[in-house]
Chain A
Amino acid sequence: MSVISVKNLVKHFGQVKAVDGVSFEIEQGEVFGFLGPNGAGKTTTIRCMMDFIRPTSGSIDILGLNAQKNSTKLKRRIGFLSGYVRLCSNWTGEEHINFAKNLNGEHDDSTELVARFNFDPTKKAKSLSSGNRQKLGLILALFNQPEVIIMDEPTNALDPLLQNEVYQLLDEAKKRGATVFMSSHNLAEVDRVCTKVCVIKEGKAIATESINNLKQKRLYSVHAHFAKTAPTEAFQKIGATILEQRNDYLTLKIKGNIEPVIKLLGTFPLRDLQIQHASLEEIFMEYYR
């Protein structure tokens, strides 16, 4: 059974279709990346999952329960981090943590998390830097050992050391069986942490695949340095995309079978040639465009 199941989720704000038929399933222990450009519908989907906003149609089930009808029950088992951590400016970090513990304090890892993030809980929220606000947001999301972790850009504003700390925490959560749903713009982070991703564009899910499958997409970059003028037209005729062009130099992007390109390259005198599998970033950019 899926831990998170989103089926045909639609959310309209008046005439604006923020989310338009998104579906995905997440199994237990998966770290699921939710990717897309700004305004694609990532945050709207997350807010529907948290029952902050109500879907126009479609369903969201988390841990086998409808996320709207059983919202209160589910939040006992969900850790949530907002994309922009909102805090009460006059409360200290400790007051935030105590408030959350009073409402949902079956487990309490807050002391350990405060130490791991090197966070000073005595300071008022209004004096916290964006990084420290993010730390507090993470502590509030994770202190209760949630079974499901929903995070909107979890490493936003954190330095590389703390980003690694977050990745470790997510690894530990995964090991204890937690399921993680996270949106991110950081593709290196997605590559490092996620097992499966969903790419969303203009409110629609355009791909849901495992990271390994994505990496095996047949997308290549070809950097060719010719002995004479680069034969641009010949490569365009066989469907290659020209990314960069100088007198004797071409950068090509090849989707699908690379064999015709290799054959064509063999007909021209070359000074240098480099063929690479596209990076995860280049693959995502393909979806984003």
Chain B
Amino acid sequence: MLDITLRFLKDKWKSILVYVIAGIGFMWMYVGMFPSIQKQAGNYADIAKAFPEAMLKAFGIQNFSISHLENFLSIEHFSLIWPLMLILLVTAFAANAIAAEVEKGTIELTLARPVSRLSVFWGKYLAGIIALLVFVALSIFSIAPLAGIHQVSYTFSHFVTMAVLGALFGWAIFSCGMMFSAFVSDKSKVGMYIGAVLIVMYVLNIISGLKESFQNLQYFSLFHYFTSEAALVNNNLPTNSVLVFVGVAIVCTLLAAWRFAKRDIAT
């Protein structure tokens, strides 16, 4: 199984590197901008008051304040750009793990060898989890040297909480992607399905804030549970977020493993 994990990581290390560099680059840009933004915090807060509450909620912003780095990053970086990068990385990994190999027929190189389908599945799954953790760790904990360079104060424990929340969110999305990847034989379909599911979830999260009668729709959206502001500003990891992400990840992973073990590999 480890041979499969290492081989998959070796094939994809350039993609991981690109995402990590982009993640660090964005973090650097926001940390670099923060001292000048902080001086204008009052003006920005006034501007934010003019925005509809639902719009701010759609981006995971409960209380607009950029007086601290954590507030600023939760609004600017972790409300959209960072989760988007995470989603793209894990979806690409999931699509390449099974569906792309079935589509190209290269899965036969592995399946013709004495390894069980479950070993192949877990080998690739582990590679995806490693890629996810590398991206999360490097893109979030890069705050330590970057804050030092720009002499910005921050609380490390808040970033640890954010990393845990991000990793759990990424795990859920990756598992969902692996499930689609195990069911179809076309890489592009994985992207299409996961994209459609996430767009629907995103829309549900937005419209749940528009009208009180739609409020319960938020519970069907993973974005509702991605509480970056609570994690980064309040150092709070809500139990329901953990339970939902872990639950979705486990259910999707088991479905994916079962399907891959049973399916026909028809190319």
Q: Which A positions have Cβ atoms within 8 angstroms of B?
A: 13, 47, 50-54, 71-76, 78, 80, 82, 84, 86-88, 90, 96, 99-100, 102-104, 140
Please list the 9 inter-chain residue pairs (A to B) with the smallest Cβ-Cβ separation, ordered nearest first. Answer: A86-B105, A103-B113, A53-B264, A76-B114, A75-B114, A52-B265, A80-B112, A102-B3, A72-B116
> Among residues 117 to 150 in chain B, which have CB atoms less than 8 Å away from a CB atom of chain A?
none
Which listed residue, B104, B105, B106, B111, touches A50 by the CB 8 Å rule?
Answer: B111
Which listed residue, B11, B109, B114, B264, touches A96 by the CB 8 Å rule?
Answer: B109
A to B CB contacts below 8 Å, 11 in the list: A52-B265, A53-B264, A53-B265, A54-B262, A72-B114, A74-B114, A76-B114, A84-B105, A86-B105, A99-B3, A100-B113
- If A53-B264, A53-B266, A80-B112 touch, whether A103 touches B105 (CB-CB below 8 Å) is no
Which listed residue, A13, A73, A87, A104, touches B106 by the CB 8 Å rule?
Answer: A87
Contacts of A87 in B (CB 8 A): 106, 109
A213 to chain B, nearest CB (A): 33
> Among residues 56 to 107 in chain B, which have CB atoms less than 8 Å away from a CB atom of chain A?
104-106
B107 to chain A, nearest CB (A): 8
Q: Which residue of B lies closest to A52 (CB)?
A: B265
Q: Are B112 and A50 in contact (CB under 8 A)?
A: yes
Q: Are A54 and B109 in contact (CB under 8 A)?
A: no
Q: Are B3 and A103 in contact (CB under 8 A)?
A: yes
Q: Mark B244-262, 1 if CB is under 8 A from A, else 0.
A: 0000000000000000001
> Among residues 218 to 267 in chain B, which have CB atoms less than 8 Å away from a CB atom of chain A?
262, 264-267
A71 to B110, CA, bound (A): 13
B260 to chain A, nearest CB (A): 12
Q: Are B264 and A86 in contact (CB under 8 A)?
A: no
- If A53-B266, A54-B264 touch, whether A75 touches B3 (CB-CB below 8 Å) is no
Q: Are B112 and A99 in contact (CB under 8 A)?
A: no
Interface size on B, residues (CB 8 A): 20
Contacts of B264 in A (CB 8 A): 52-54
Contacts of B116 in A (CB 8 A): 71-72
Q: Are B3 and A86 in contact (CB under 8 A)?
A: no
CB of B197 within 8 Å of the partner chain: no
A76 to B115, CA, bound (A): 9
Contacts of A53 in B (CB 8 A): 264-266
CB of B7 within 8 Å of the partner chain: yes
Q: Are A82 and B108 in contact (CB under 8 A)?
A: yes
A84 to B104, CA, bound (A): 11
Q: Which residue of B lies closest to A75 (CB)?
A: B114
Contacts of A84 in B (CB 8 A): 105
Contacts of B11 in A (CB 8 A): 88, 90
Which listed residue, A47, A50, A72, A78, touches B115 by the CB 8 Å rule?
Answer: A72
Contacts of A104 in B (CB 8 A): 113-114
Q: Are A88 and B114 in contact (CB under 8 A)?
A: no
Contacts of B266 in A (CB 8 A): 13, 47, 52-53
A148 to B110, CA, bound (A): 18
Q: Are A86 and B112 in contact (CB under 8 A)?
A: no
Q: Are A103 and B104 in contact (CB under 8 A)?
A: no
Contacts of B109 in A (CB 8 A): 86-88, 96, 99-100, 140
A158 to B33, CA, bound (A): 63
B10 to chain A, nearest CB (A): 9
Contacts of B3 in A (CB 8 A): 99, 102-103
B266 to chain A, nearest CB (A): 6
A96 to B104, CA, bound (A): 15
Which listed residue, B104, B105, B110, B262, touches A82 by the CB 8 Å rule?
Answer: B105
Q: Are B108 and A52 in contact (CB under 8 A)?
A: yes
Contacts of A88 in B (CB 8 A): 11, 106, 109
A77 to chain B, nearest CB (A): 8
B114 to chain A, nearest CB (A): 4
A54 to B104, CA, bound (A): 20
Q: Are B104 and A86 in contact (CB under 8 A)?
A: yes
Beyond A86-B106, A86-B267, A88-B11, 17 extra complex contacts between A and B, CB < 8 Å: A47-B265, A50-B112, A51-B111, A52-B266, A53-B265, A72-B114, A73-B114, A74-B114, A75-B112, A78-B112, A80-B112, A88-B106, A88-B109, A103-B3, A103-B115, A104-B113, A140-B109
Contacts of B112 in A (CB 8 A): 50, 75, 78, 80, 82, 140
Which listed residue, A54, A74, A86, A90, touches B108 by the CB 8 Å rule?
Answer: A86
A45 to chain B, nearest CB (A): 13
Q: Mark B1-25, 1 if CB is under 8 A from A, else 0.
A: 0010001000100000000000000
A87 to B105, CA, bound (A): 8
B17 to chain A, nearest CB (A): 15
Q: Which residue of B lies closest to A44 (CB)?
A: B266
A74 to B115, CA, bound (A): 10
Q: Are A52 and B114 in contact (CB under 8 A)?
A: no
Which listed residue, B106, B110, B262, B265, touches A103 by the CB 8 Å rule?
Answer: B110
A71 to B7, CA, bound (A): 22
